[in-house]
Structure 1
Amino acid sequence: MKPILPGLLRSTDAASIHRNRFIIAMIVTLACVLELLDTSIVNVAVPHMMGTLGATLDEITWVSIGYVVANVIVLPISGFLANQFGRRNYLAMSILVFTFASWACGNAHSLGELVFWRIIQGLGGGGLIATAQATLFEVFPPKEIATSMAIFGIGIMFGPSLGPTVGGWLTEAYSWPWIFYINLPLGAAALLLVLTYVPDSAHRRIAKSVDYPGLLLLALGVGTLQLMLERGEKQDWFESTEIIAYTIISFISLFVFVIRQLEIDHPIVNLRILHDRQYSVGLIFTFFLGAALFSTVFLFPVYAQTLIGFDAFQTGMIILPSALAAAFTMPVAAKLLARGVPARLVITVGAFIFMYAMWGHHLFTTESGQDDFFWPLLMRGFGLGLVFMPLNNLTLAAIAPQEIPDATGIYNLTRQLGGSVGIALSATLLTKFENSKRASLVSHLASDNDAMAERLSIFTQLFQQKGHAASMAGQKAYALIDGQVNKQAMMLAFSDLFLLFGLAICLLLPLLLWMNKPPRMAKATEVSH
């Protein structure tokens, strides 16, 4: 009789691992989708959580901040933890913590309780992405690395995009705790499959000692840096003593941490891999790619819901084709690399497609609708799909197999921090651009402007016809025009920001000149580890 779970009885030799490699890719990608889904799924349920928990808007933001801060603390040490506990055990433990914390979040009865369990959930999910990526680099032979990264990239793109859609539907159809309960069956399935199929690393190196001071410095440095980025816009940046304190603590902690990690024999994060020029240049590129990816994901929903009037679910459905396009494009990029097309050429084409998509976003107006959004969003997905996967492979091209866990941890942390910087920068620039555009528009609306006088007269008459006194009708007419000016100023600000992020990716292309080592799949003759 065949066993129900044949993977549990499998051998762990290279042939068995190679045979199950695509199953392993699907399993670790599922874990990544779970983790990324929870970075954005909470946002649409904020009003409902505020009502249930009696929290203010400023207080409820800690539900998201706590999760993201915990994530970025764990990311760079995921390689160290995988080595200490064993990769399969660490993945399983992370999924178990994440899933249990999801249940606890759904059962939270106070804001403090919810924030605490969101932090635990973030600690559990933080290492999943880097560990998944390291697993794929070891399980797949060099010639199939591009294919594995395409599968992995689908999860990276889908997770944040699905969050608003799934969160909006669950919140409206059921209640906000279900945005956490949805993780329970998926987490249980992922845990069982990891224990069944995912092997331990053949390159595992257990540290003889644990650098606890370094761990504390990293947690302080990266945690306060993320807090600064999350809270900066609300606190008016360096006008706030809170933000200044975060900045000082972050700078000192990270400075001492870097010095310490370069000097001790058993660092928790191997920063010596930064000596590889291609890897370091790739980190710069992925930082700005993360900024562009997360910023456009952040900006478009704000634009669609604020100026167009869509709800979260509608916005999520409009964004979904972009994620589907990225998912479709990554396997195409993998095929191109496998056929010998230079990775730098694929990235360049993807960057220009992304720029074209951002030009389409630049042309959006306050009257735009779903038909206007479809092609620019679709092209955005195509562009990012062509950039994301080849950049992964190029960046890690020269990293030794035993150093891949550390390299993927730093790589994913860099993309995450790039996204946080991009969102913080977007929020700040949106306000500054909006104020600038408003001032420019108002300068053309002087009282001696004939068009302004005519429109003011028309609006005043309309309000008078509705029964308002002349003085009140005049005030309402001015208020109506002021609202239109504010709306148009915000639209112009969004338009400029979309174009700015498109240009930023194209301006990074000269960095590819320093990334001349071919991807791992193209330079090795071995077929498996």
Structure 2
Amino acid sequence: AFGAPMVPIAQSTLLDTFPREQHGLATALFGFGVVLGPIIGPTVGGAVAEAQNWRWAFFLIVPFALVTVLGIFLFVRDRKRTEPPRALDWTGFLALATALAAMQLMFGRGERNSWFESTETIIEAVLAVGAIYLFVVHSLTTKQPFISFNLFHNRNYSVGICLAFIFGMLNFTLMVMTPTMLQDLRGYPDSVIGMLLATRGIGSIAAVFVVVRISNWDPRMALSIGFTCQALSGYAMSQFDINMTYWDIAWTSVLQGFGIGMSWVPLTLIMFSTVKPERLDEASAVFHMLRNFAASLFISISIAIVVRSTFINTMALNEFISLFNKSLLFPNVTGPLDFGDINSLALAGSEIRRQATLIGYLNVFKLFTVLCVLPIPFIWLARLPRHDR
């Protein structure tokens, strides 16, 4: 949790250091770490966990952290500020933190607790609504709020923050859902899953180079291409069957990685192109907070969809396994299975659970595709800054 400010501080420092005409190149280079880090980490971690022990995966960060700390002291210079730092608005901070935590718990545990049939879910919902109300009212009435709503008077930033929320929902979901799908349905080992996930990095690297080469393009066009590539990847994954191959996972991962890489740079350019330098810290913090919250929120929703869909489809498919189903009397339908034998029934039940689970994952991929397509028209609500026209 204490590492949460690192990315927004790094990005605001980067944007403040480089002139606006070089923000595209600087953001592209920064995007290497943002996009590739979550891809390389699970890949290497999966190999280490399989070769040694899962605990060793957590020690991998230690040498990189030490080098980073040394680099900060040697190369990063403190920025000169023309105004004194603001006092922390504890009321706004605690209200926002409570609202986000309550919503995360509600969506993460809602399916397990049968949603609003559970007292816990009701309490979390009431707490989230109350905390949001307190945060909004307090922010509008205090002189120095934790997050100033004046920031959202900037049209590009307001459009960008909505797009960033959806981008956050899309960014990590497939990377979290795909490994569990491959383990549950195909029985792939951790090392193979890690290598398949690493193919996403190929697309991301290619996209960053493409973005640098087309830096004179309208960033709205590049962002639209990025969301379209992710939509095509999600649609292809929604057509998977139980016999999906390595190639099926690899090429869809490459396409998804390309879409993410194409989206990151133009999204940040649109958001921060018209933000005043003294507001970059606040703008970057809100951006990454909402992006990370959206990612965890949609992952929780996706897991709930898989669990719910698996239960519903298991019950629906089990209705066909009955002595009253005359189609099961024909050998060309049942094959080697004899539904009068308990072993055959157990085998059929296992296959039904696999197919029902697959349907749950396919439903997530369909929702992913819809979320990729929906924001594309709204991208064009953003305006190009004068120096990009």
Contact 1:140/1:148, CA 8 A, preserved across alignment: yes
Contact 1:147/1:331, CA 8 A, preserved across alignment: no
Q: 1:303 aligns with which of 181, 193, 203?
A: 181
Give 1:96-107 correspondences, 5 Å limit.
none
Q: 1:514 aligns with which of 378, 381, 385?
A: 381
Contact 1:164/1:313, CA 8 A, preserved across alignment: no
Contact 1:460/1:477, CA 8 A, preserved across alignment: yes
Once the two structures are superposed, residues 205-257 of structure 1 have per-residue CA deviations (whole angstroms, 9 ceiling, x without a partner) of: 43354323333323323333333333333333333222322222222123212
Cα 1:323–1:233, aligned 2, differ >3 Å: closer, same or farther? farther
Q: 1:144 aligns with which of 4, 7, 22?
A: 22
Once the two structures are superposed, residues 62-96 of structure 1 have per-residue CA deviations (whole angstroms, 9 ceiling, x without a partner) of: xxxxxxxxxxxxxxxxxxxxxxxxxxxxxxxxxxx
1:420 is aligned to 296
Contact 2:169/2:297, CA 8 A, preserved across alignment: yes
Q: 2:161 aligns with which of 283, 295, 318?
A: 283
- Percentage identity across paired residues of the two chains: 25
1:491 is aligned to 358
d(CA) in 2 for partners of 1:475, 1:230: 37
Q: 1:233 aligns with which of 111, 115, 121?
A: 111
Contact 2:196/2:249, CA 8 A, preserved across alignment: yes
Contact 1:232/1:424, CA 8 A, preserved across alignment: no
Contact 2:20/2:273, CA 8 A, preserved across alignment: no
- Equivalent AA in structure 1 for residue 138 of structure 2: R
Which stretch shifts more, 350-359 or 416-425?
A: 350-359
1:450 is aligned to 327
Root mean square deviation, CA, Å: 2.3
Matched, 1:356 2:223: no
Contact 2:165/2:291, CA 8 A, preserved across alignment: yes
2:347 is aligned to 480
2:149 is aligned to 271
Q: How far 1:423 moved relative to its partner?
A: 0.7
2:262 is aligned to 386
Q: How far 1:166 moved relative to its partner?
A: 2.4
Structure 1: state its 5+ residue gaps: 1-121, 462-472, 524-529
Cα 1:302–1:177, aligned 2, differ >3 Å: closer, same or farther? closer
Matched, 1:165 2:43: yes
Q: How far 1:132 moved relative to its partner?
A: 0.9
- Equivalent AA in structure 2 for residue 190 of structure 1: T
Contact 1:211/1:268, CA 8 A, preserved across alignment: yes
- Equivalent AA in structure 2 for residue 248 of structure 1: V
Q: How far 1:273 moved relative to its partner?
A: 0.3
Q: How far 1:288 moved relative to its partner?
A: 1.4
Cα 1:209–1:381, aligned 2, differ >3 Å: closer, same or farther? closer
Q: 1:405 aligns with which of 258, 264, 281?
A: 281
TM-score (norm: length of structure 1):
0.68
d(CA) in 2 for partners of 1:515, 1:240: 42
2:369 is aligned to 502
Structure 2: state its 5+ residue gaps: none
Contact 1:456/1:477, CA 8 A, preserved across alignment: no
Cα 1:175–1:303, aligned 2, differ >3 Å: closer, same or farther? closer
Contact 1:350/1:383, CA 8 A, preserved across alignment: yes
- Equivalent AA in structure 2 for residue 220 of structure 1: T
2:60 is aligned to 182
Contact 2:305/2:363, CA 8 A, preserved across alignment: no
Q: 1:342 aligns with which of 206, 218, 224?
A: 218
Q: How far 1:367 moved relative to its partner?
A: 1.4
TM-score (norm: length of structure 2):
0.91
Contact 1:350/1:387, CA 8 A, preserved across alignment: yes
Cα 1:328–1:204, aligned 2, differ >3 Å: closer, same or farther? farther
d(CA) in 2 for partners of 1:422, 1:139: 34
Give 1:318-337 correspondences, 5 Å limit.
318-336=196-214
d(CA) in 2 for partners of 1:167, 1:452: 49
Once the two structures are superposed, residues 80-118 of structure 1 have per-residue CA deviations (whole angstroms, 9 ceiling, x without a partner) of: xxxxxxxxxxxxxxxxxxxxxxxxxxxxxxxxxxxxxxx
Q: How far 1:456 moved relative to its partner?
A: 4.9
Q: How far 1:355 moved relative to its partner?
A: 1.7
Cα 1:486–1:449, aligned 2, differ >3 Å: closer, same or farther? farther
Q: How far 1:440 moved relative to its partner?
A: 4.6
Once the two structures are superposed, residues 381-438 of structure 1 have per-residue CA deviations (whole angstroms, 9 ceiling, x without a partner) of: 1112112221111122221111011011111111111112211111121223334444
Once the two structures are superposed, residues 182-219 of structure 1 have per-residue CA deviations (whole angstroms, 9 ceiling, x without a partner) of: 22221111111111111222346433543233333233
d(CA) in 1 for partners of 2:280, 2:345: 62
Contact 1:437/1:489, CA 8 A, preserved across alignment: yes
1:468 is aligned to none
Once the two structures are superposed, residues 245-277 of structure 1 have per-residue CA deviations (whole angstroms, 9 ceiling, x without a partner) of: 222222212321222223222223233201223
d(CA) in 1 for partners of 2:82, 2:204: 33
1:460 is aligned to 338
Q: 1:430 aligns with which of 290, 294, 306?
A: 306
Cα 1:510–1:203, aligned 2, differ >3 Å: closer, same or farther? farther
1:68 is aligned to none
Once the two structures are superposed, residues 131-166 of structure 1 have per-residue CA deviations (whole angstroms, 9 ceiling, x without a partner) of: 111111111121221122112222222222233322
Which stretch shifts more, 258-267 or 183-192?
A: 258-267
Cα 1:508–1:476, aligned 2, differ >3 Å: closer, same or farther? same
